[in-house]
Structures are given as C-alpha cells and as structure tokens.
C-alpha cells in the first residue's frame, strides 16, 4: 500500500475495472459529442431526445417523458418549460385533472429533422474505430442488459 495520503494508506481501487463506470464514462463522452453536434441547431442531446420521443408518441405526458429520458419529474418540468419557451413544443388542452399532453410545433419538427442527421453523424464518427459487427454486438448486449435490468426493476416495485 502507498503511504502518500494525509489520512493514511491509499487504496488501489480502479473505477475502470467496473463495467458500470466504463459505460457511464462512454455515455458521458458520447453525450458531449452529440451535444456539440445538435448544438448547431440550438439543442442539447436531452432536448433532441425529448423532441424525438414526443414525435414518436404524440400526446405524450410529462411523466411518460421523464421515464423515457430517465430523469426526475422536476428535471422534465424544467426541460418542458425550455422547449415551450423556445416554441418547439405545445401543451395540448386537456380536461381538468388530466396529465399535461405534449406535441411538437412546426418549429420543433424542423429542429428535430435538422438535428437528427447531425446526431447520427456525430455518433458514427465517435464509433468509427469499431467495425459494424462490433457496433451491432455492443448494441445487442446493451439491449439485453436494458431488458434484464428493466425486468428486475419492474419486479422489485411490485
């Protein structure tokens, strides 16, 4: 053990030896690249993702959007407020006590269509050191993990 720490021994614990840390680190770096790419359209990756989810599921509620984006309801409220202020989404009228429903505006549709090829290109450039088979295999493994972890989360909340 090393003796350089004011509090005592340094421990040789390596975060890079944990797959979870590596996935989070790769995700963070990819997010930064795609943020930069879609920033050309005035969006962040999270805003781009929100617009894409709303486009694919018209009449999506804020709580559904929070679940899809893996963020808290409070964070989605801030995100929705920004997208509303930018004129990229609308709140559809609902009956009292019904959840807020979100739809894309024409400007939101246009921003999404301009951002999508930029995001795709940035991701492809980031993954260009991997062959198509490696990308497909990695995607398959991640989808299996998502499915498995989603199942275990659903089971534990029952």
Residues 6+ apart with CB under 8 A from 147: none
Residue 80 confidence (pLDDT): 95
- Tens-binned pLDDT, residue by residue, of the chain (158 aa): 445 556 667 888 888 888 999 999 999 999 999 999 999 999 999 999 999 999 999 788 888 999 999 999 999 999 999 999 999 999 887 777 777 789 999 999 999 999 999 999 999 999 999 999 999 999 999 999 989 988 765 544 33
CB-CB contact of 63 with 73 (8 Å): yes
According to the model, what pLDDT value does residue 158 have?
35
The backbone torsions φ and ψ at residue 10, rounded to the nearest 5 degrees and listed phi first, read -85, 140
Residue (of 86, 82, 80) closest to 63 by Cα position: 80
HSE of 12, CA atoms in CB hemisphere, 13 A: 3
Q: Is 71 exposed, middle or buried (0-12, 13-18, 19+ CB in 10 A)?
A: middle
Structure-derived torsion over alpha carbons of residues 41, 35, 58, 67, reported in degrees to the nearest 10: -160
Query: Which residues are 102's β-sheet partners?
Result: 60, 91
**Which domains, from first to last, does the chain contain?**
36-126 (1.10.10.10)
What is the reported pLDDT for 156? Answer: 40
């Amino acid at each position: 053990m090393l003796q350089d720490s004011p509090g005592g021994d340094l421990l040789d614990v390596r975060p890079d030896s944990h797959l979870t840390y590596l996935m989070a680190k790769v995700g963070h770096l990819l997010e930064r690249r795609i943020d930069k790419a879609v920033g050309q359209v005035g969006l962040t990756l999270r805003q781009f993702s929100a617009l894409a989810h709303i486009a694919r599921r018209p009449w999506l509620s804020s709580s559904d959007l929070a679940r899809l984006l893996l963020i808290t309801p409070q964070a989605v409220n801030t995100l929705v407020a920004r997208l509303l202020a930018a004129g990229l989404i609308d709140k559809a009228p609902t009956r009292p006590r019904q959840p807020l429903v979100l739809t894309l505006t024409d400007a939101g549709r246009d921003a999404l269509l301009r951002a999508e090829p930029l995001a795709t290109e940035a991701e492809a450039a980031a993954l260009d050191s991997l062959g198509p088979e490696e990308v497909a295999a990695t995607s398959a493994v991640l989808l299996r993990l998502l499915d498995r972890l989603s199942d275990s989360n659903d089971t534990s909340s029952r």
